[in-house]
Structure 1
């Protein structure tokens, strides 16, 4: 909500013309009706943005990931680190995604420059993912529902040990007995994870490959990115 007492540089503007937020919905210049048509989200309560740094070699996998989110009317933004955008035109949803190009940059570099909290404030959740994740059994809408019901701010989908061969941290392994787990227990001296544990590798750990941030969390995390 706009606070007229805050000094933002817009103090001299008439109240009626101040637009305090933006979004990533595409509005073609040649279709005036499209400027007014904002996509209807199947899950009206929440808006989500999937942002990934991608290369053409991972197009097939990214195709699967993007469809999952676009089918829920969520926004997809692709950061092209290899400079190849034209190679994605064959995908039917390509024109529905936002494409940003900067050769040889990481997803964190892109996020720092193009996902400022003020720009993405319309989104309730930011999925800042790697391009090579397997999402065959992932449902983004259900995942968001779980985050909301559990009051979670920074999360990642758990890894299925039967499908994932590259698991480095036990806390990221799926617990089939619960929807959510916040810590692991291990009595080995190398781990020593108990209810008294206050940090990684026992609790408070999310991998950088598949983090999901709430709007409030992203406002903080963006300032910590050093890229």
Structure 2
């Protein structure tokens, strides 16, 4: 019952607030031959051509004639099925770091780059980039892209979805070994531990050298009302999360169309998982380093003597408050629809 409540709350929040997408201009969508046909469709009988989904009306006999050749072409283009997806939100300035990171992911991974600076073809200096999927919409964020391009039905063929920032060090990380540990410990939502070479905001993410995985931690006094709920348990940061496809189907509904930075989302992810304190965790045996490289925060505009990143930070704080309010409203609406008592109130 609790799981159904949590799932419904997440879906209601996404439905009531996220039903309308703002208009956008997609400057580039490109990918390898074995993936691009899946996200772009062109119909000869009409002028319909669009990204991700295209429904065209064509002559039935024409479709029947094309079916055999299409199947043959597909068998040639896709030698094997890639099991996992890793998506990075990137700027060209960090291409060398992304090159290092991508090499930690095997051929079992589809590589997807979301370009926030509009630079795409220059990435072809790397051989792997020619087989990656590139989506370019200037000055957007990881969660903005995820909401619009990673619908659960689109990524349903992948067992796990990695949504990573561009400024991570991966000297001690191997993606295949990470997947093995996630499966071994039954984690639906996870992240690699963070080596504390700099200040760490949340203790949950701090690497522990004496174990493979940890699920609980102790935080500053007063930070955790429940020791099994965020940020002491059932918690990962939005910096480098990894989702099972089952978890992603719920998480996608939590992402708000207009709250593009995702702040507060990490405190709500547990609502998508039954027994979240058991099925969410941090993988210590495969860890990363937060390098704090200049990234999207510098894409803002300096105003009134303030640095660009300060405006971005203020927007993040504002979005967190909005998200928290929307989540509370969605939960209350769900409880009311079921005739259940509202939080901090009694039934009359």
TM range (shorter): 0.7 to 0.9
In the alignment, what sits opposite 2:221? 189
CA contact (8 A) 1:83 1:101 kept: yes
RMSD: 2.5
In the alignment, what sits opposite 1:160? 195
**Which residue of 31, 56, 59 maps to 2:92?**
56
In the alignment, what sits opposite 1:120? 155
Instruction: Give aligned pairs, total.
Output: 193
SS at match of 1:151: coil
**Which residue of 114, 119, 125 maps to 1:79?**
114
Change (3 A) 1:91 1:25: closer
SS at match of 1:52: strand
Structure 1 length as normaliser, TM-score? 0.77
Change (3 A) 1:173 1:39: farther
State the shift of 1:68 in Å. Answer: 1.6
In the alignment, what sits opposite 2:186? 151
CA contact (8 A) 1:39 1:73 kept: no
State the shift of 1:40 in Å. Answer: 3.8
State the shift of 1:201 in Å. Answer: 2.2
More strand by share: 2
Change (3 A) 1:156 1:176: same
CA contact (8 A) 2:216 2:228 kept: no
Deviation string for 1:59-111 (max 9, x for gaps)?
01111111221x34311000011000022111111111000010111011111
Cα distance in 1 between the residues matched to 2:134 and 2:180: 28
Cα distance in 2 between the residues matched to 1:143 and 1:25: 26
Cα distance in 2 between the residues matched to 1:215 and 1:25: 23
**Which residue of 70, 76, 95 maps to 2:130?**
95
Structure 2 length as normaliser, TM-score? 0.51
